[in-house]
Chain A
Amino acid sequence: MFKKLEDLSKPTLLSKTGVKELKQSFNDQYPFFKEIEDEVFPKKANIQSFKLRSEYKVEIVQVDKDYICFTKEDLVIPHLKLVHKFPDLLIKQQVDLGAIKHILSGSDVLAPGLISQGSQLNTAQKGQVVAIYGEGKENAMGIGIMNANSDEIKKDPKGHAIQLLHHLGDALWQLSFK
């Protein structure tokens, strides 16, 4: 999704109601977020948001020069750096060695990659946000949305299983390292 970031607008401050809505949607989707709330959103912090003109209804949220998450049509998705710090936020799915090269260049995850040796499939529903790990590595590689339930994937391993939204080395990741 973030292959090129060309149309970034200027940052605007979020109001108090906007921050409250953000925190509520975070708490609804991820039950682990209650314990981390104070560290991620400190009290006297500058919360800004950017808008993308080319994409429809996508905003990037920034707290004190740290990129935290982005929103897409009522879904709140955390940035990869947050996932590195608190790996218990998202459900983990593991892929085998041969697929790492393709994921880091932006392709979707196919079903045979989740069933072969060296991979792990955990229970998840359709439409949930999931973190993707590689075989033998500690840290997360990418974030995606499930296309189908995990039970159906085990029965019929065909087609795209996870749609990729954000991975290591794309335009959003390079923004945070300038």
Chain B
Amino acid sequence: MSDSDDDIFKKKKPSKKKIEQQQKQQEQQLLLQQQKQLKQELNQTEQQMNNPKHPKLVIYCRICTFPVEFCSFSKTPKECKEWLKTSFNELYAILYPEEFKLEQEKQAALLEQQRLIAQHQLLFQPLGKKKRNKTKVKESDMVYLKVKERNRNKFITTLSGLEKHGLDIKETSKKISKKFGCGSSINEKGAIELQGDLTEELIEWLPKEYPNIKEDMIAIKDK
């Protein structure tokens, strides 16, 4: 018919969710502004406080609209207390001193429990593990392990990077083959090849024999 009808259909009304979000944002902004004003005015000088001509500041509860000391006579005393805790902690300590003490004792008891748990954890740690320093390990000190499949149920592990720690390749290969009962050989590139999957055992055995090598320096390479 006329153009005005088309405009009505073209205009999109904001959905219900957007309206609610906008309202919440506005309320939050109002809250922040009010709290800022109150905190600024609370820092009045003493001269202004004693002057009868200067207007006196009174804090009103947000939930029951009474002054803060009359909240217990209103219809919602519990919710008023919780609001006081979050916004004005100092007034909460003045008006409800017994409950403030109880909460402080609870927090102190929680801290003590956490300390005891941490101490117990230190005592009951397994003996082999030591505390690790958080310094980064250089690449030149790293030792690498690899696992390959030869046939079904047969694996090959390769060790590389042992020369940097001053170890002889032939002697180490003989030791390992005696200890674990496996075949060993030396690669073209200078790495040791062992028959079988020995990753976990090597990780435990290497730092014991040669204390130069630490646990952080061993890494498993994927293909």
Residues of A within 8 A of B (CB): 35-36, 39, 84-88, 100-101, 104, 137-139, 141, 168-169, 173-174, 177
Chain B residues closer than 8 Å to A169, beta-carbon distance: 65-66, 74
Q: Which A residues are in CB contact (< 8 Å) with B60?
A: 177
User: Nearest 3 CB-CB pairs, A to B?
Assistant: A85-B55, A84-B58, A177-B65
Kindly list chain A residues whose C-beta atoms are within 8 Å of the C-beta of B65. Answer: 169, 173-174, 177
Least distance between B42 CB and chain A CB atoms (Å): 15
Contact between B53 and A139 (Cβ–Cβ < 8 Å)?
no
Residues in B neighbouring A85, C-beta threshold 8 A = 55-56, 58
B105 an interface residue at 8 Å Cβ cutoff?
A: no
Interface residues in B43-76 (C-beta closer than 8 Å to A)? 52-53, 55-56, 58, 60, 65-67, 69-70, 73-74
What total count of A-B pairs have CB within 8 Å?
38
Contact B58 A139 (CB under 8 A): yes
**With A137-B70, A138-B69 already in contact, 8 other A-B pairs whose C-beta atoms are closer than 8 Å:** A36-B53, A84-B56, A84-B58, A85-B58, A100-B73, A137-B69, A139-B58, A168-B70
Cα separation A85 to B50 with both chains bound (whole Å): 13
Smallest CB separation, A134 vs chain B (Å): 8
* B89 → chain A closest CB, angstroms: 20
Question: What is the chain A residue whose CB lies nearest that of B55?
Answer: A85
User: Can you report 20 residue pairs joining A to B where beta carbons are below 8 Å apart?
Assistant: A35-B53, A39-B53, A84-B56, A84-B67, A85-B55, A86-B52, A86-B53, A86-B55, A86-B56, A100-B73, A101-B73, A104-B70, A137-B69, A137-B70, A138-B69, A139-B67, A141-B70, A169-B66, A169-B74, A177-B60
Cβ contacts under 8 Å, B56 to chain A: 84-87
The docked-state distance in angstroms from the alpha carbon of A139 to that of B60 is 11
Mostly helix, strand, loop or mixed at chain A's interface? loop
Smallest CB gap from A87: residue in B = B56
Q: A36-B53, A85-B55, A88-B52 are in contact. Are A139 and B69 (CB under 8 A)?
A: yes
Considering only residues 67-108 of chain B, those with a C-beta below 8 Å from chain A are: 67, 69-70, 73-74
**Closest B residue to A140 using CB positions:** B67
CA distance A177 to B65 in the complex (A): 7
Q: How far is the CA of A14 from the CA of B61 in the complex (A)?
A: 33
B55 & A168 in contact (Cβ 8 Å cutoff): no
Please report the C-alpha to C-alpha distance between residue A25 and residue B74 in the assembled complex, in whole angstroms: 35
A8 smallest CB distance to B (angstroms): 19
> Are B66 and A168 in touch, CB under 8 angstroms?
yes
A25 to B55 alpha-carbon distance, docked (Å): 22
A residues less than 8 Å from B52 (CB atoms): 86, 88
A139 contact set on B, CB distance < 8 A: 58, 67, 69-70
Measured CA separation A84–B57 after assembly (Å) = 8
Q: Which of chain B's residues have a CB closer than 8 A to the CB of A174?
A: 65
Name B65's closest neighbour in chain A (CB-CB).
A177
A57 to B73, CA, bound (A): 33
Report the separation of the CA atoms of residues A129 and B66 in the bound assembly, to the nearest whole angstrom. 22
Q: Which residue of B lies closest to A177 (CB)?
A: B65
- With CB as the reference atom, state the residue of chain B lying closest to A89: B52
In the complex, chain B residues whose CB is within 8 Å of the CB of A86: 52-53, 55-56
User: Once the chains are docked, how many angstroms separate the CA of A141 from the CA of B53?
Assistant: 21
The chain B residue sitting closest to A105, CB to CB, is: B73
A92 to chain B: closest CB distance in Å? 14
CA distance A39 to B189 in the complex (A): 93
Q: Are A104 and B73 in contact (CB under 8 A)?
A: yes
Inter-chain contacts of A88 with B (CB < 8 A): 52
Nearest CB of chain B from residue A41's CB, rounded to whole Å? 14
| Beta-carbon contact of B73 and A39 below 8 Å | no
